[in-house]
Amino acid sequence: MGHVRRSDWTVLELLRWATGYLEGKGVTSPRLEAEVLLGHALDLNRLGLYLHHDRPLCPEELARFKPLLLKRAKGFPLQYILGETEFFGVTIRIRPPVFIPRPETEVLVEAVLERLKGEDSPLIADVGTGSGNVAIALAKNLKGARIFATEISPAALSLAQENAYVSDVSSRIDFLLGDLLSPLRSLKLPGGLDAVVSNPPYIPTGDLPGLPQEVRYEDRRALDGGEEGTCFHRRLAAESREFLRPGGLLAMEVGDGQAEMVAEILEGYGWDKVEVLEDLSGTERVVTARKLEEDGWKGS
């Protein structure tokens, strides 16, 4: 970064240089990320950068920007650098190694909101809550909902609690440490849950070494879905009915090319009304199903 030692940079000049630098490091959206990083360093939004495009930068501002740019060039995720990301209209705090919310997961939230429309004070489990993004989005949009958010990582659970407090929904979300649905067994929920929702790990174990460098900063437990990527979908298909009321909803995010396999798993475990939903790119992203109204299935 030799040229960044210049002391007479303007905002626009530095943006152009940083864009080329990030592009040379393989960053997918170098201009946008250069704008976001410089805006973060200067406490300006993108419009503010261009309104002040010819303003010279002082040495202190350059000193704040340089380490951010270097981190991103080395593959450190942008969201971790900023310390936050947006999800379903909510600002979510994020720090390593907690799984970073992705835009495609908004389809999961939309699917649940649509299917619980008209439910009075629904009880929902968000299994593997991570940063708490799904639970918080549901709580924000279902004013009477009570949500039980489970997570195996203490670091993630702590961050999720922090996010819920900042989003002013912590009074309606119970955070529980443990593996998948196991923390719910001690609660003895009357009548059962209305929905079990999960964005489980779904990357096949063999694909993990080939992931982009930035993904490897995230907790492997939030990524590794077993040999076929459907280990946790299978467990949720087998275990969720115990906690749901008759007709209750199970909604799970799936990886590319996994929807048909997960739908077959659900059908094999006796679930009803199995549906596959696409994200905005046309990728099959969410699979939903209903517990039978009279659930006498005795399969293994």
Residue 16: give its domain's CATH number. 1.10.8.10
Q: List the CATH number of the domain containing 216.
A: 3.40.50.150
Mean pLDDT, residues 57-84 taken together: 96
Note whether residue 118 is domain-resident: yes
The answer to whether residue 140 is domain-embedded is yes
CA–CA gap between residue 123 and residue 144 (Å, rounded):
9
Residue 65 within any structural domain of the chain: yes
Q: Are residues 69 and 162 in the same domain?
A: no
Tokens 């094999």 belong to residue? 268
Residue 2, pLDDT > 50, answer no
Looking at the fold, whether 159 and 247 belong to one and the same domain comes out as yes
- pLDDT, one tens digit per residue, over 172-222 is 999 999 999 999 998 877 679 999 999 999 999 999 999 998 998 999 999
CA angle centred on 257, ends 219 and 283, rounded to 5°: 90
Pair (243, 271) in one structural domain: yes
Q: What is the mean pLDDT of the chain?
A: 94
- How many whole angstroms separate alpha carbon 111 and alpha carbon 41? 37
- Look up residue 114 and give its two tokens: 């649509």
Catalytic residue list: 99, 199-200
Confidence of residue 298 (pLDDT cuts 50, 70, 90): very low
Domain count, the chain: 2
Q: In this structure, are 142 and 235 located in the same domain? A: yes
Region of poorest pLDDT, from 28-32, 151-155, 210-214, 220-224:
210-214
**77 by DSSP, 3-state: which?**
coil
Predicted confidence (pLDDT) per residue in 216-273, tens digit:
899 999 999 999 999 999 999 999 999 999 999 999 999 999 999 999 999 999 999 9
Q: Which long-range contacts (CB under 8 A, 24 or more apart) does 162-167 make?
A: 162/93, 163/92, 163/93, 163/131, 163/132, 163/133, 163/136, 164/132, 164/135, 164/136, 164/139, 166/91, 166/93, 167/90, 167/136, 167/139, 167/140
Cα–Cα distance between 175 and 229 in angstroms, integer? Answer: 26
User: Tokens 């407090």 map to which residue?
Assistant: 165
Q: Is residue 245 part of a domain?
A: yes
Alpha carbon distances (Å) from 245 to 125, 159, 292? 12, 30, 9
Residue 247 domain-assigned? Answer: yes
Does 70 fall in a domain?
A: yes
C-alpha R_g of the chain: 22
Give yes or no: residues 136 and 250 share one domain.
yes
What is each CA distance from 284 to 99, 131, 141, 300, in whole angstroms? 21, 24, 24, 27
Percentage above 90 pLDDT, the chain = 90
Domain of 33, in residue numbers: 2-74
Is 116 in the same domain as 192?
yes
Q: pLDDT per residue over 92-116, tens digit each?
A: 999 999 999 999 999 999 999 999 9
Tokens of 120: 């009075």
Which position has the token pair 């960053």? 27
Q: Which two tokens stand for residue 109?
A: 């939230």
